[in-house]
Amino acid sequence: MENQKKMSLFDLVFMSIGGIIGAGIFSMVGTGIATTGRSVALALIVGMIFTMSQQIRYIFTASMFQLSGGMYSQNALVLSPFLAGVSAVVTLVSSVSYSVFGISMAQYLGDLFPVLEPYQVPVACLVLIFFFIIASTGAQIFARAINALGILKFIALGLFIIFGFTKVQTGGFEGEPYFINGGVSFLTAVALMSFTCNGATNIINVQAIAENPKKNIPKAFFIASILVAGVYFLLGYVASGVAPYDQVAGQNLGYIAGLVLPGPLAVFFIVGGAMCSLSTALLGGISGMPFMIIGIAEDGWLPKFFTKKFNVVVTLAIISILPIIGGFSLDNIVSMMLVPGMAIGAITNFQAMSMPERFPEEWANSGLKCSPTLYRILMVISIITSLMTSFFSLTSLTLPMAIGTVIATILIFVWTWYRMKKGYVNITSTTDMSEEPVQAK
């Protein structure tokens, strides 16, 4: 490990960009158009600002510590044991988002092979099962091949934007103004589009092999987020401006690419762009998630059953497939996932406001410099955007789904309380890899 080549700032920026531009943008843009029309371009920009504000604590913490358990360890470092447990269980529940990948892959396969169009549900389930099997076998050759093809998604999006600009109706279409469904729908679109803006913080998980991680990881985060925000704005502008609302609302990006690109390039967009991006993101997520779940189980928040990788993989597969069988739409799945995640995020950032005082030495030596006052202002902004995302995600659901989501969120708190009361919990994953073990002050 000592001779392993370290990741440079460029490597981290590229990885961070790749983490953001993944499944979300290829599957959710049509949903954003359906929600707010041509304002989806603005919703993507605001969604990125929201996401950056919600993630800024992770970046500050990464500039202070190198923690073995990634973002879960960061939460455990600043939260009370009970809230750390809630955050941990939310991590398991968030795996429901893999169903978005399966549904999107099935839609794109239906675009390529119309004979599959009537079989979206079984195709989506089979796609997920295939990737869970690949990830669980540790097929590194397959993973490297998919990652090597990751550059194709950037080329595909570039072609989409370049060709699309020549076909955008700058004046819009009759009766289709910006904010087509009103201000509340725009904020709902912002909440949904924030799902497409996540992923920049994946670089936190490679702190051990990064050059000067406490400085380069924050730099990479900001550079990647700003660059992608620009690309997303252009993409949203094109996707919502090449055809009337009723033609593109709710459609995936592959369908819209068919309106923009010549036939062969449209096929390339679906295969080299959408399919490759979805495959890369899905394989990367499935490969890494079991280790985090195992760590959570070893801390006691989940039964010992989850300390075995096979058991974790099977459970994640079941959680991912259930929403597909249940017929949930992409926006419903994303909203149900965002409600508890953003709520606990707001609580975590409130608890983290005391970081400069709790860890004065680490704060002074942080790779990301700012005053404690500015840091707390950023945390307040983060709390507000997190609560807004959670609220508008909840209001976008039907009443039965909203009630079910609230009940599920409450059950997460109840489960965590039960595990603590029974004495199962012993948190061991908050040790700084570059220093002596850190004790909360």
For residue 113, pLDDT beyond 70: yes
For residue 230, pLDDT beyond 90: yes
Q: Is 141 exposed, middle or buried (0-12, 13-18, 19+ CB in 10 A)?
A: exposed
User: pTM for the complete prediction?
Assistant: 0.81
Share of the chain above pLDDT 90, in %: 27
Share of the chain above pLDDT 70, in %: 88
* pLDDT band (50, 70, 90) for residue 147: low
Structure tokens at 207: 């702190």
In angstroms, the CA 322 to CA 125 distance is: 9
Q: How far apart are the first and last CA of the chain?
A: 32
In one-letter notation, the amino acid at residue 194 is S
Contact criterion met (CB below 8 Å) for 20 and 228: yes
Nearest C-alpha neighbor of 74 from the set 185, 195, 201: 201
Residue length, the chain?
A: 441
In one-letter notation, the amino acid at residue 392 is F
Q: How do residues 157-209 score in pLDDT, each as one tens digit?
A: 899 999 999 888 877 666 677 888 888 999 999 998 988 888 888 787 667 67
Q: Taking the domain 9-421, which CATH number applies? A: 1.20.1740.10
For residue 439, pLDDT beyond 50: no
Structure tokens at 118: 């009537």
Q: How do residues 236-292 score in pLDDT, each as one tens digit?
A: 999 998 888 888 888 888 889 989 999 899 999 888 888 887 877 777 677 767 777
Contact criterion met (CB below 8 Å) for 283 and 31: no
In angstroms, the CA 41 to CA 45 distance is: 7
